[in-house]
């Protein structure tokens, strides 16, 4: 119900966000980044469905229909293996009487296959929502997704499921920002300047 209320909330009552995007390419890139990078990262850091909230607030800028907003936001939950600092994998390993890292590493291949199969559905749903992308953009999205899956699987083997997603996707999100936004030196320094709270990125 909370997710539905957020999706249906009129613009004037929404939590303040940046103005809506008008560039088609920028909209598509934000949609992919929100669903497959930022959302899973936030879910891994917090759990409890927080990732879907952040994803939804990002996608709201694209002015997609409520049903598509909900469906696209749910894609942030596809990396559930690492959700909540890998708590599910840890509990599952305890019940199975096995090592959490070993369990998560082998399960990560299933998650990778699942996400690759999910990507065409994302393309179709994005097109229906009016956030279209051509063949070149789709190849780029496939490359970013494969890079993320490789990094998180490797990080799981090396660091365990607790921080694997954070260690893998943190730098990946930063790289995506640099590629998409191409900030100049002044913008980078402004983003790193303390504001009395967390560092802005």
Record the tokens describing residue 167, joined without a space: 């260690």
122: DSSP letter? H
Quote the pLDDT of residue 176.
93
Q: Tally the C-alpha atoms within 13 A of residue 153's C-alpha that lie toward its C-beta.
A: 15
Residues in the chain: 201
Residue ranges of alpha helices (H) inside 75-99 are 83-96
Q: pLDDT value at position 22?
A: 66
Q: List, run by run, the mean pLDDT of 10-residue segments along the chain (201 residues).
A: 45 47 85 93 84 88 90 87 83 89 93 93 94 93 96 94 92 91 74 54 44
Q: What is the DSSP letter of 81?
A: G
- Separation between Cα atoms, residue 174 and residue 167, nearest integer Å: 12
Of 109, 35, 30, which is closest to residue 78 (Cα–Cα)? 35
Q: In whole angstroms, what is the distance from residue 119 CA to residue 139 CA?
A: 11
The per-residue pLDDT for 46 is 84
What pLDDT does 1 receive? Answer: 42
Give the N- to C-terminal CA distance of the chain in Å, as an integer: 31
**Token pair recorded at residue 173:** 């999100």
Q: Read off the tokens for 75.
A: 């894609």
Residue 125 has a pLDDT of: 94
């Amino acid at each position: 119900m909370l997710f539905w209320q957020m999706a249906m909330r009129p613009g004037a009552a929404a939590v303040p966000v940046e103005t809506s995007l008008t560039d088609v390419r920028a909209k598509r890139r934000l949609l992919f980044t929100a669903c497959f990078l930022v959302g899973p990262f936030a879910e891994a850091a917090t759990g409890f469905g927080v990732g879907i909230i952040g994803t939804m607030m990002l996608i709201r800028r694209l002015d997609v229909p409520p049903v598509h907003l909900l469906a696209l936001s749910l894609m942030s939950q596809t990396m559930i293996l690492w959700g909540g600092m890998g708590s599910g994998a840890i509990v599952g390993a305890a019940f199975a009487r096995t090592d959490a890292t070993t369990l998560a590493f082998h399960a990560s291949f299933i998650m990778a296959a699942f996400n690759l199969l999910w990507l065409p559905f994302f393309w179709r749903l994005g097109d229906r929502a009016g956030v279209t992308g051509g063949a070149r953009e789709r190849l780029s999205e496939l490359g970013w997704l494969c890079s993320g899956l490789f990094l998180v699987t490797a990080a799981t083997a090396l660091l365990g499921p607790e921080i694997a997603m954070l260690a893998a996707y943190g730098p990946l999100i930063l790289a995506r920002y640099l590629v998409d936004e191409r900030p100049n030196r002044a913008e980078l320094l402004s983003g790193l300047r303390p504001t009395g709270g967390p560092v802005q990125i």
